[in-house]
Structure 1
Amino acid sequence: MAVVNSRRVAALVWALCAVMAVASSVLLVLGPGRPVESDVFGGVGGAAFLMLSLAFATVGTIVATRLPGNPIGWLFCALGLFIGATVLAWVYADYGLHATSERLPGAAAAASFPGEAGAALLGFALLLFPDGRLPSRRWRPAAYVLALAAALLLVTDLLRPGPLDDPFAMVSNRLGIPGARSVMDALNNVGWALVVVGIVLAAGSLLVRLRRARGVERQQLELVLAVGVVVATVVVLDMGSWLLWPDGELQVRMAVMGVSFAAFPIAAGVAILRYRLYDIDVVVNRTLVYVTLTVLLAAAYGVTTLILGTALGRGSAWTTAGATLAAAVAFRPLRARVQGAVDRRFNRARYDAQRRIAEFLNDLRAGRAAPEAIEALLRELVGDPTLELRFLLPESQLCVDAGGVPVDDLPDDRQRTMIQRAGAPVGIVVHQPARPDERDLLPRLVEAGGLAIEIARLRVELRRQLAEVQASRARIVAAGDEERRRIERDLHDGAQQRLVSIGLAMRHAQHELGDGSPGLAGKTLDAAVEELSVAIQELRELARGLPPAQLDAGLAPALEELAGRAPLPVEVRAVPERLPCGVEAAAYFIACEGLTNAVKHAHASKVVLSAAQDNGTLVVSVADDGIGGAGRGRGSGLSGLSDRVVAQGGTLAIESEPGKGTTLTAELPCGS
């Protein structure tokens, strides 16, 4: 309900100002019909102050509607009403007293309207800007000064006796106190002096706020102070013209004053409502830089022209050319110095940040700093501890961090600022979104520190290339070692086991000869010779890095052939499907090792070989009914067998309780 009432009151104020502006415009068009001396609110002067009235009323209405708790909106509304009423009273009195043969009703009273007291309201608006509160209790005396000034001006306007000032000197103040004119004039002067003191104090309060303000509030104050300085300069010069030129073009001078003052409520409204407020830093900075630069270059041009004109003659074309050349040569160094001076005075944080970057680059050139330290420095300068530098490597088309680790995904909740050198992208800064008033700081720092960033990128790329060379060398050595171990395992699990089997067969033949069975011994020796031929072929194949020839027909036939050569019964249970060559070779050698251990160490009477697929895994098992107690002793065949299984990405399990036989189970990924 309060918000609705605020909107209605604000809308009513604006409507009243609009009605007064329309009425005043009509009277301005009609005019008194002849020139009137000291008619400051006639013609363009009155029109300018009508615009000022509407400016205060419009901004005040918007602020009061959106921020009803901020009294500045209501102060602006009051100022709009007061200025509008003052202009309307003036132009009505002007028309009613000078344009007709008889005075219009109320014209004399309108001429006595106390319009001076409104000046103090402007000081109150400055004192309360931007949040509608005093900076602190210590500023209450400034508010008292302004209140006293408003009271003195109001009282003296109402009670000063005698004729009014021009152009209404024919009217006497009916409310004036007889004999008190000198006192009222003195009090009026005191009131104006207090207005000036109050406005100066209010401006000082803005400067005090500015010193401790941060973020948006600082932007608000900078905007109003910048506009206020321009307005104050124009108004002082305009009012000072009355001292040098008391008569003539009064309406024009009033128009300049009214238009200048209209900039203040507009700037204050923009600041309070925060509309595109973040641009004020750029506007103020560049305005100061280029205005100062223009003045200095103009001065340099003038001095050069004077010197060359004296030496070469005023009409010489060389004078103009020389002065222009001097101004052009001085532009860049002069702009840099002016920019530095403005930043040092009005944007100390950015100035200090850029100075730190410059000092870091000097240390980098002198070898006192590493280029990678630019990342930590940027974090400190922008106040973002999560900031990261990502480098773009053109050779590999990768995006890597400062450690050279590839980074594929960039977080969506963070901002990215591209880094370019000579038009080519060299990196990305990943950081938290900057506040509006700081959004141009990081690009400036990145541009200033581009050399360090480029060097850091080159060093990261060089480290990656060196690491790749070292890794490739390591892979070559590892591949050689792996090949040596493979041959060692293949010899142990394949050809060596055949030779052991041949030795056992020959020992068996020896026993047969001793038992008087030369026929059986001959057959055993013939089988041993055939086995020796196979072993020789295997050695040749292993030397060429090829799997055993028994695997040409598949794992199941190879295991059947292996079981047929064993000196004890072997049951085979194997899948008929073909598997990858490496998997089949590993499974075959696992079976060879398990079978050899069963014959040589377990004293088994029976062995079961099995190879079955289970969810993309080949499970190879060698189970015997021997004495058990097998283990992975260092240098044993089972230890090498475990390495072979691990090399294939598999696992090996050994179950060998004493007296309960041994079961080797290997699980090998087979991808099917």
Structure 2
Amino acid sequence: MPALITERAIPVHNASMSRRFWPIWLASAVCLAAGVVLALGAFRPNGDGWPTALYLLGVVPLALGWLIAVRAPRGPVGAAVAWLAASLLVVPALDAWGRAPWPEADFVGALGVVAWPWQLTGLLALLLVFPDGLLPERRWRVVAAGVPVSALAVGVAMTVTIDYGEPRYFTAPVLVPEPIWLPLMISALGLLLVVVIACGASVVLRYRRGGDRTKQQLRWLILATGVVVAVMVASWIVTSFELVGPEAYSAFLLGILVLVPAAVAIAVLRYDLFEIDRILSDSVAWFLTTLIAAALLAAGVVLTGYLAGRDSAIGLTGSVFLVALLLFPLHRRLHRAVGKVLDRDRTVLVEQIERFVEQVRDGSAEPEDVETVLRSAVRDPELTLLLSDPAGTGLVNLAGTTQDPPEDRMSVPLRTASADIGVILVRPGSMRHLRRVKLAASAARLPIEVSRLRIGLRRALTDVAESRRRLVSATIDERRRLERDLHDGAQQQLVAIGMQLRAAQYRLRAGDPVSADLELAVERLESTVGELRRLAHGVRPASLDDGLPAALARLGAECPLPVDFEVEDAASSEVVTVTAYFVVAEAMANVLKHARASRIGINVERQEDGLRVAVIDDGIGGVPADKGLTALRDRVGSVGGRLTVTSEPAGGTTVEAVLPCAS
């Protein structure tokens, strides 16, 4: 049973395909018949040769119509392109028949004269159905029906109102009176004009309602038809001034027979093959620039001719110079204005990134914000910017963290002349989206490069800071070991020796001269032990074993000035604790030497960014904020802290250090 169903389904499918292609088959038959007539008429003994044979290029839109119909069978565009070829070939074929010594040449020639509106029907039908069929409203069906009706109306009006005499004698069976034929002709031409305007309006309406894909496709058609119209106008101008003969219309025929069908085929099959937005915008901008420049040049020539005479070389040279001077700024402004209309996405993208680059240059924006700006510019919230780590460890994000690119993203490489600097990862999309990302990456080259360099600089500074902290920590550990060795080693041995000498002294008889020598030796040993204790205290104060508050209290107790304490028992590393102690000790020493103070305040407290240590005096002040205390600044800086000095003349001095607790 399934096999039977399949066998019966195949003919139905073939029948539907045949019904779908019958308009193209009919157009092919018309093109074939017209092509034969044109070929015979062009190459007969008295034929005109190449001008008529040029219409044989109608095979191009016919072939493209078949290609579109096969590759995109659901739409009517393929049939419209095929009928574009047929409508363009029929009228010249009738004219070629009328000029040849063939049967009914008079009638066929006259028919060719009144059939010219039919050449518009193919293009008008294409405008109505491109790119995805008629618009849904009923009025557009009326317009579609009006295309052949208006062409027929003009042909009939011309037939019944004009008496065609020599060279080919033909008179219509019915001729309307003269008072009637003018309103009749105007009405017929007016109907045709209304249909043409309605077909153009359908393109505008479809463009305004359509999505990105539809707008991209319509831009291909707009560009092609715009070029054809410009070439047609140029042909009219050169033939009107008799600069070129009828051959000038050859370019128009090439445009309508080749350029328009090719643009339609690309729009349907590969609409994102090129940057049509940019091509269209640049073309319109240059066209407008040319028109305005020509108008300015003509106005300048007329004005200088009026002021200095027609043959004035100076006036002509001045006009040309003025136009050349205005050409570049004029084109730049026109290009920007046209781009906002025809290539708005690209223009807005570039302007947004250029504003950000200027903000980075003047310091009002951080270069690391480039990823956010790129996401907004290309409308891809999942865009990710990964940069090559200057250390050569792979790809890192803007925070400097190593990150592997996901496999489901498209990557746009970022390269310089000498190296790869990173990639931009975007969601899979069209070629147009990929080109936009590349354009955005090119425009944002400066902040991307700066972000990469800053990652390397931050990493280098971090490595230096960590290395410095390790060195300081190793120094503190070495000082602790040395202090312990001095206390538990040499100092204890010297004390033991002194005790032995004192014992030996007690065993001597009174008045023994050796006793005096032993007394002197014991005194020197005690002096040496005191010196060792002082050295050990300078390496690392033993009082820190009881904590920073106790060590500072002991330091204050030895100070000759009154000391006010506000010391918080905040947990910190050994490095920070030792550094805080020496900051207080050295600052107090400076107060005693130079400040002439009557009181000292010591404040130690934990803050969010570290341990704050402040030594405050009420002395004479006047200490430079950025000079002096070099040793103290180096000590604080060695652990990644910062030291500030606030001192007003006769207002006392405050030495404040903020030490990172993680050191």
TM-score range, shorter chain: 0.5 to 0.7
- Residue 77 of structure 1 pairs with residue 76 of structure 2: no
- Residue 380 of structure 1 pairs with residue 386 of structure 2: no
- Choose from 334, 346, 350 the match for 1:350: 346
- Choose from 269, 280, 286 the match for 2:282: 286
CA distance in 2, matches of 1:321, 1:394: 57
- C-alpha distance 375-20 of structure 1, shift in aligned 2 (>3 A): same
CA distance in 1, matches of 2:104, 2:139: 48
CA distance in 1, matches of 2:334, 2:230: 22
- Residue 436 of structure 1 pairs with residue 431 of structure 2: yes
Contact 2:84–2:121 under 8 Å retained in 1: no
- Residue 58 of structure 1 pairs with residue 58 of structure 2: no
CA distance in 1, matches of 2:256, 2:59: 12
Kindly provide the CA deviation profile for residues 51-101 of structure 1, in whole angstroms up to 9, marking residues without a partner as x: 3x434433333333333432233233334334433332321221127xxxx
CA distance in 2, matches of 1:184, 1:325: 53
CA distance in 2, matches of 1:485, 1:54: 97
Superposition CA RMSD, Å: 4.7
TM-score w.r.t. length of structure 2 = 0.58
Quote how far apart the aligned CAs of 1:469 are.
Answer: 3.1
Residue aligning to 2:31: 17
- C-alpha distance 323-199 of structure 1, shift in aligned 2 (>3 A): closer
CA distance in 1, matches of 2:194, 2:418: 56
Contact 1:44–1:252 under 8 Å retained in 2: no
Classify the secondary structure of the residue corresponding to 2:386: strand
Contact 2:127–2:200 under 8 Å retained in 1: yes
Classify the secondary structure of the residue corresponding to 2:134: coil
CA distance in 1, matches of 2:134, 2:32: 29
Classify the secondary structure of the residue corresponding to 2:101: helix
Quote how far apart the aligned CAs of 1:143 are.
Answer: 3.6
Contact 1:417–1:429 under 8 Å retained in 2: yes
- C-alpha distance 273-186 of structure 1, shift in aligned 2 (>3 A): farther
CA distance in 2, matches of 1:485, 1:165: 125
The residue identity in structure 1 corresponding to 2:78 is: G
Residue aligning to 1:26: 40
CA distance in 2, matches of 1:322, 1:380: 46
CA distance in 2, matches of 1:166, 1:473: 107
- Residue 212 of structure 1 pairs with residue 187 of structure 2: no
CA distance in 1, matches of 2:297, 2:105: 61
- Residue 235 of structure 1 pairs with residue 232 of structure 2: yes
Residue aligning to 1:264: 260
Residue aligning to 2:129: 128
Classify the secondary structure of the residue corresponding to 2:275: helix
Kindly provide the CA deviation profile for residues 225-282 of structure 1, in whole angstroms up to 9, marking residues without a partner as x: 122122223334545788x57x998743654543343233332233223366433223
CA distance in 1, matches of 2:421, 2:191: 62
Contact 1:391–1:399 under 8 Å retained in 2: yes
CA distance in 2, matches of 1:93, 1:484: 116
The residue identity in structure 2 corresponding to 1:27 is: G
- C-alpha distance 78-401 of structure 1, shift in aligned 2 (>3 A): closer
Quote how far apart the aligned CAs of 1:15 are.
Answer: 5.2
Quote how far apart the aligned CAs of 1:379 are.
Answer: 0.9
CA distance in 2, matches of 1:161, 1:485: 120
Contact 1:226–1:284 under 8 Å retained in 2: yes
- C-alpha distance 241-197 of structure 1, shift in aligned 2 (>3 A): farther
- Choose from 454, 458, 475 the match for 1:463: 458
Q: Give the structure with higher Rg (CA).
A: 1
The residue identity in structure 2 corresponding to 1:198 is: V
Percent sequence identity is 26
The residue identity in structure 1 corresponding to 2:208 is: R
Contact 1:357–1:449 under 8 Å retained in 2: yes
Quote how far apart the aligned CAs of 1:149 are.
Answer: 1.1
CA distance in 2, matches of 1:326, 1:179: 55
- Choose from 83, 87, 90 the match for 2:95: 90
- Residue 340 of structure 1 pairs with residue 336 of structure 2: yes
Contact 1:46–1:87 under 8 Å retained in 2: yes
- Residue 273 of structure 1 pairs with residue 275 of structure 2: no
Residue aligning to 1:448: 443
Residue aligning to 1:623: none
Quote how far apart the aligned CAs of 1:434 are.
Answer: 4.5
CA distance in 2, matches of 1:106, 1:300: 51
- C-alpha distance 134-416 of structure 1, shift in aligned 2 (>3 A): same
Residue aligning to 1:160: 160
- Residue 416 of structure 1 pairs with residue 411 of structure 2: yes
Quote how far apart the aligned CAs of 1:9 are.
Answer: 6.3
CA distance in 1, matches of 2:345, 2:122: 35
- C-alpha distance 268-279 of structure 1, shift in aligned 2 (>3 A): same
Structure 1 residues 189-588: aligned runs within 5 Å: 189-236=186-233, 238=235, 251-252=246-247, 255=250, 257-262=252-257, 263-274=259-270, 277-291=273-287, 336-396=332-392, 398-407=394-403, 409-420=404-415, 425-473=420-468
CA distance in 2, matches of 1:147, 1:398: 67
Quote how far apart the aligned CAs of 1:324 are.
Answer: 8.6
Classify the secondary structure of the residue corresponding to 2:170: coil
Quote how far apart the aligned CAs of 1:126 are.
Answer: 0.9
Quote how far apart the aligned CAs of 1:448 are.
Answer: 2.5
- C-alpha distance 442-44 of structure 1, shift in aligned 2 (>3 A): same
Contact 1:149–1:194 under 8 Å retained in 2: yes
Contact 1:220–1:277 under 8 Å retained in 2: no
CA distance in 2, matches of 1:322, 1:482: 86
CA distance in 2, matches of 1:271, 1:64: 13
CA distance in 2, matches of 1:331, 1:451: 30
Quote how far apart the aligned CAs of 1:152 are.
Answer: 1.1
CA distance in 1, matches of 2:226, 2:180: 34
Kindly provide the CA deviation profile for residues 340-367 of structure 1, in whole angstroms up to 9, marking residues without a partner as x: 2332232122222222223323333444
- C-alpha distance 334-411 of structure 1, shift in aligned 2 (>3 A): farther
Unaligned runs of 5+ in 1: 34-41, 98-103, 488-672
Classify the secondary structure of the residue corresponding to 1:461: helix
The residue identity in structure 2 corresponding to 1:411 is: P
Quote how far apart the aligned CAs of 1:224 are.
Answer: 0.9
CA distance in 2, matches of 1:120, 1:143: 10
Contact 2:87–2:122 under 8 Å retained in 1: no
- C-alpha distance 423-124 of structure 1, shift in aligned 2 (>3 A): same
The residue identity in structure 1 corresponding to 2:384 is: E
Aligned length: 466
- C-alpha distance 322-461 of structure 1, shift in aligned 2 (>3 A): farther
Deviates more, 1:290-299 or 1:469-478: 290-299
- C-alpha distance 212-6 of structure 1, shift in aligned 2 (>3 A): closer
Quote how far apart the aligned CAs of 1:378 are.
Answer: 0.8
CA distance in 2, matches of 1:416, 1:291: 37
CA distance in 2, matches of 1:422, 1:45: 53
Contact 2:216–2:276 under 8 Å retained in 1: yes
